Amino acid sequence: MPFHRLEVFQKAYRLALEVHRLSLGFPPVEQFGLAKLVRDSSKSIPVCIGEGMGKQESPKDVVRFLRMALGSCDETRIWLDFSKDLGYVSVAVHRDLDRRYREVGRMLTGLRKRWSSGSDPAGRPSSSF
């Protein structure tokens, strides 16, 4: 399945754009620190999904990249915690982003489990793709 069609990719991509725009409002001292870190980790999620789905001939590679995407999802949540605790992101914005990143994480976990079990996202056996 092309990665652009995956709902988890679409959600992660939209979140990365939102986090990027949000981080541009961080103080200048943070633009090459915390702001860059949260931008990089948030963008890594859809990038890893795309790269993994480009390796569908090797389900083990797909699973490996989905694990990396999940790790980047958790990393982004931590950087957002720092952003909130340092006062750069409001509690309400943080709560919303954290909820949405938890959803992406659950979706990535489900997708990884399907690929680990030998099925693609549509539930077809791995031998059919």
Tens digits of residue pLDDT in 42-99: 999 999 999 999 888 889 999 999 999 999 999 999 999 999 999 999 999 999 999 9
Residue 98 lies in a domain: yes
Residue 21 lies in a domain: yes
Q: What is the DSSP string of 50-100?
A: HHHHTTTT-HHHHHHHHHHHHHHHHHHHHHHHHHHHTTSS-HHHHHHHHHH
Structure tokens, 6: 């995956």
Task: Provide the number of structural domains found in the chain.
Answer: 1
Domain with residue 34: its CATH number is: 1.20.1440.60
> What predicted TM-score, i.e. pTM, was given to this entire model?
0.89
Residue 9 lies in a domain: yes
Residue 72 lies in a domain: yes
Residue 121 lies in a domain: no
Cα dist from 19 to 11, 25, 66, whole Å = 12, 10, 20
Residue 127 lies in a domain: no
Quickly count: other Cβ atoms within 10 Å of residue 108's Cβ.
24
The band of 1, judged by pLDDT with boundaries at 50, 70 and 90, is confident
Residue 126 lies in a domain: no
The band of 119, judged by pLDDT with boundaries at 50, 70 and 90, is low
Q: What residue numbers bound the domain in which 84 lies? A: 3-115
Residue 78 lies in a domain: yes
- State whether residue 120 is helix, strand or coil: coil
The band of 2, judged by pLDDT with boundaries at 50, 70 and 90, is confident
